[in-house]
């Protein structure tokens, strides 16, 4: 999805603007480099064994390189009974429609994750002259894509879990969370 200038205030509020700019301009996957690091990863020490010694990814690295906040409230999401309860007893998909204005067709959903292709087709470009509520919905979708594909991707790499609704519902509060800590914890979880 293209970074629209109208999303910038929401991304700044969420503490994710720097990451969005990196994603929009500089992130290119170097598969050979990733493979080399995977081969050198040692889960027992949480380090990469390189020819020059051991190295690891620290919270300072995440904060500096990705520009994510590392102080603040913890990012968490209990998924028990997720399908029937989320925020005030509303079913998750009802809340999805309230926040994003549309529900994906069943063919685009796997359990509680929506295909990225649906997000891109539905929210790929916000029309010029859109009202503020529409821009806000598109910004929420953009942030969900950013979280689900850049920071907290699943193994498929092409689905966005709806657990992020809890955070995008209150864009004004997103900047109070420690996204850097959560991203580092997720990275270690995926690597071990």
pTM here? 0.88
Whether 80 has a pLDDT exceeding 60, the answer reads no
* Alpha helices, H only, the chain: 8-14, 17-25, 31-40, 59-66, 92-100, 116-123, 132-146, 165-168, 179-191
Task: Report whether pLDDT(91) > 90.
Answer: no
Q: Which of 15-29, 33-47, 72-86, 94-108 has the lowest mean pLDDT?
A: 72-86
* Domains of the chain: total: 1
Per-residue burial over 9-18, b if 16 or more Cβ lie within 10 Å, else e, is ebbebbbbbe
What residues make up the domain containing 130?
A: 5-191
């Amino acid at each position: 999805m293209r970074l629209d200038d109208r999303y910038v205030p929401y991304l700044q509020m969420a503490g994710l603007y720097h990451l969005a700019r990196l994603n929009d301009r500089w992130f290119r996957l170097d598969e050979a480099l990733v493979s080399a690091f995977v081969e050198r990863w040692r889960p027992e020490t949480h380090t990469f064994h390189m020819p020059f010694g051991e190295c690891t990814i620290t919270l300072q690295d995440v904060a500096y390189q990705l520009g994510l906040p590392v102080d603040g409230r913890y990012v968490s999401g209990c998924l028990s009974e997720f399908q029937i309860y989320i925020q005030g007893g509303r079913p998750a998909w009802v809340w999805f429609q309230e926040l994003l204005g549309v529900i994906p067709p069943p063919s685009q959903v796997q359990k509680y994750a929506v295909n990225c292709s649906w997000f891109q087709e539905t929210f790929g470009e916000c029309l010029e002259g859109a009202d503020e509520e529409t821009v806000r919905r598109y910004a929420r979708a953009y942030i969900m894509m950013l979280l689900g594909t850049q920071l907290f991707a699943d193994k498929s790499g092409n689905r966005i879990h709806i657990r992020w609704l809890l955070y995008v519902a209150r864009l004004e509060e997103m900047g109070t969370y420690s996204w850097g800590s959560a991203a580092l914890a997720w990275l270690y979880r995926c690597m071990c």
